[in-house]
Structure 1
Amino acid sequence: MTRPAITLRQLEILRAVIRGQTTMAAAKMMSMSQPAVSNAIRQIESQLGFALFERLNNRLFPTDGATIIYEESEPLFAMHAALEDRFQDLREAKVSRLRILSTPPLGDGVIPSALTAFSRRNPRLRTFFDIRELDEVIRSVESGKTDLGFGLSLGSQPTLEMEPLFEGRMVCVSPVGHALGAKETITPADLQGQTFIALDAHTRMGTAVREAFQAARQPFNFNVEVRYCNTACVLVEAGMGASVVDPFSATYTGRRNITVRPFEPAIPCTAWAFWSTRKPPSELARRFVKEIRLALT
């Protein structure tokens, strides 16, 4: 026998209970009575044929099944929220809207300055902009919640359309006056014995730098490990030591007290704009991508 389908409203109630951990908290979120929420959960469990929660100390903890439903339904609610925002824009006759997410290397430097100029030329533009980690940017673009994503060194992404904006290479940064500043190019051998600020080994760029040291048959020794290139540049500017970072963090954030030199062996570092294959970019979004490309040249 075919079981009845779960409705969007039922999923909303399930999400509220998971987030609130009690039916009372969920009732407040949903503007419902507590018995109505309890009845709804029982009905969903009956339709699905398995339990959704375990009760412990008056709190409800989702089962593995409930957690899977919650995670799998998130893109659906993200798309629904984006559609609601579009309805609001149309009601207010404010159809110029752009939602942008970027990783720190571009989001901390080139995008804010380009967005400022772009917004001045488009005074009716409503922009939503934030800086996130790459995986989160990709998920938000895939779901349709974000119009444009920007990041570095992406691999092939079947759910995304990708456009290269700038093809560069990672660089070595050191404090002004540091001995490394006298060299035209920095190699792993030059960094031996220096105070070195490494990128997190679990990041793409951190892995690439370690592989460059390995290719040069040099030991990879570091004094400090950081997750973001921008953090490494802050420490370099403070005089702590040298680092190998993406070129955008080094040159597009207004830093004055660091010296930038090419790093060998070359580590490619490409800046990308990307959007969902299911949601072609608007003319406005395409113009903003062009704006970023011009800013990077």
Structure 2
Amino acid sequence: MVEIANTGVTLRQLQIFREVVRLGSERQAAKVLRVTQSAVSQQVAQLETALGVPLFRREGNRLVATAQAWELLREIDGTFLSLDRVGKSIAALKGIEGHAIGIAAPDIFCFTLVPRAVRQIRVHDRSCVFHVKSGSYQDVAEHVLNGRADLGVSRLPLDERLFDWMPVTTATNVCLFPAGHRLAEKDLITPEDLRGEPLIDIEPRQNTHQMDLNALRYMGVEPNIAVEVDANGHEAAFIAAGVGISVTNSVVAKECALFGLRFRPFEPSAIYHYVVFWQRGRQLSGQLRLARERLADALRDSA
């Protein structure tokens, strides 16, 4: 086994330790690593001896990581994620297909867009397993960058030093509201139409927030913020509950059809460029190229 810098600690011990922390069980770690449980226990014990600190305590049948274990995991996790990325690139170069695909997408896209794409991918490969990560656009980028997802669905800008992407579609601003709302009678909605309306808005760190609020204030309308959410799509539930209305974009709004909401064009507007993206320079396998195409198809269907 490869010893790390004459420390008495091996790469294999750290790999086993990482899985035990992640799964909270020596038995589950053994299953994932395809070794015996006794081998896992032995390697963990040797690692604790080499480090001179306890890494786990037992609570019933479960292992609970100590503070020292979490500190060690933070230090080594990035290294193993990098090794995972290298392994996937090598497999792609050799034409070896994996059986798992990681997809990261904004929360709202996990209701219909991602499931549609997954269904189409599984038509070609029923053995494929999907790991779906969601969150804000920033979260999605971090999932792909850190190797927790192979492909991401997002919008520009993205850092071209870190990612490659496939342009898919564009979106413009719309006003999103419940069925039967007075705004349904209008073909085009302007800031003046929102005077006095309670708004569900994206929190201030989001660029969309500043654009929407600046447009309202430019027209002499002070925004009446009822709720701030931290990711696009979260506003849909509050709108459906009758708390308020929102300004979002047309791609997000179409995904909100699940909530029975309606939308109309809103001006002034911006253009949003949606993409499917992956780590810069990564060689995509045939399976991932198929997944990229199906995600792009699903995104176009939402445009």
TM-score (ref. length: structure 2): 0.71
Alignment of 1:210-229 (within 5 A): 210-229=213-232
1:77 aligns with 2:80: yes
Q: Is the 8 A contact 1:94 1:124 kept in 2?
A: no
Aligned equivalents of 1:155 and 1:215: distance in 2?
Answer: 29
Residues 258-277 of structure 1 correspond to what in structure 2 (within 5 A)?
258-277=261-280
Provide structure 1 residue ranges, at least 5 long, that are not aligned to the other structure.
21-26, 46-51, 54-58
**More off after superposition, 103-112 vs 203-212:** 203-212
Whether the aligned pair in 1 keeps the contact of 2:103 and 2:131 (CA below 8 Å) is yes
Task: Indicate the larger mover: 243-252 or 164-173.
Answer: 243-252
Alignment of 1:55-204 (within 5 A): 61-62=67-68, 67=71, 70-80=73-83, 95=98, 97-120=100-123, 122-133=124-135, 134-204=137-207
Distance 1:217 1:290, change over 3 A: farther
SS of residue matched to 1:265:
coil
Identity, in percent, stands at 22
Q: Deviations over 1:198-233 (max 9, x none)?
A: 222233433443343345453222112223333312
How much does 1:186 deviate? Answer: 1.8
2:46 to 25, 28, 36: 36
Q: Deviations over 1:68-100 (max 9, x none)?
A: x64353222234457789999xxxx97454321
| Residue identity matched to 1:103 | P
- Which stretches in structure 2 are left out of the alignment for 5+ residues? 24-36, 56-64
1:249–1:108: structure 2 CA closer, same or farther, 3 Å change rule? Answer: farther
Q: Which amino acid aligns with 1:31?
A: S
Are 1:250 and 2:260 an aligned pair? no
**Counterpart check, 1:240 vs 2:243:** yes
How many equivalent pairs are there? Answer: 270
Q: In the alignment, residue 158 of structure 1 is paired with which amino acid?
A: R
Contact 2:17 2:44 in 1 (8 A): no
Q: Which moved more, 1:182-191 or 1:94-103?
A: 94-103
The TM-score normalised by the length of structure 1 is 0.72
Q: CA–CA distance in 2 between the matches of 1:29 and 1:154?
A: 47
Name the CA distance, whole Å, in 1 between partners of 2:159 and 2:216. Answer: 25
**Paired position in structure 2 for 1:209:** 212
Maintained 8 Å contact 2:108/2:233:
yes
Shift of 1:41: 0.7
SS of the counterpart of 1:156? coil
How far residue 251 of structure 1 moved from its aligned partner, in angstroms, is 1.0
Verify the 8 A CA contact 2:131 2:149 in the aligned structure 1.
Answer: no
**SS at 1:167's partner residue?**
strand
Please give the alpha-carbon distance, in whole angstroms, between the structure 1 residues aligned to 2:173 and 2:89.
39
The whole-number CA distance in structure 2 between the counterparts of 1:12 and 1:96 is 21
Distance in 1, Cα, partners of 2:19 & 2:122 = 37
| C-alpha distance 126-35 of structure 1, shift in aligned 2 (>3 A) | closer
AA aligned opposite 1:126: C
Deviation string 1:25-79 (CA, Å, 9 cap, x unpaired) is: xx9995138863443114xx9xxxxxx99xxxxx96449xx94x64353222234
* Equivalent position amino acid for 2:131 in 1: F
Structure-1 separation of matches of 2:39 and 2:82: 20
Secondary structure of 1:252's partner?
helix
CA distance in 1: counterparts of 2:261 and 2:19, whole angstroms: 49
Q: Compute the RMSD of aligned alpha carbons.
A: 3.9
Q: In the superposition, relative to structure 1, how do residues 200 and 276 fare at CA in structure 2: closer, same or farther (>3 Å)?
A: same
Q: Distance in 1 between matches of 2:268 and 2:39?
A: 55
Letter in 1 for 2:128: R
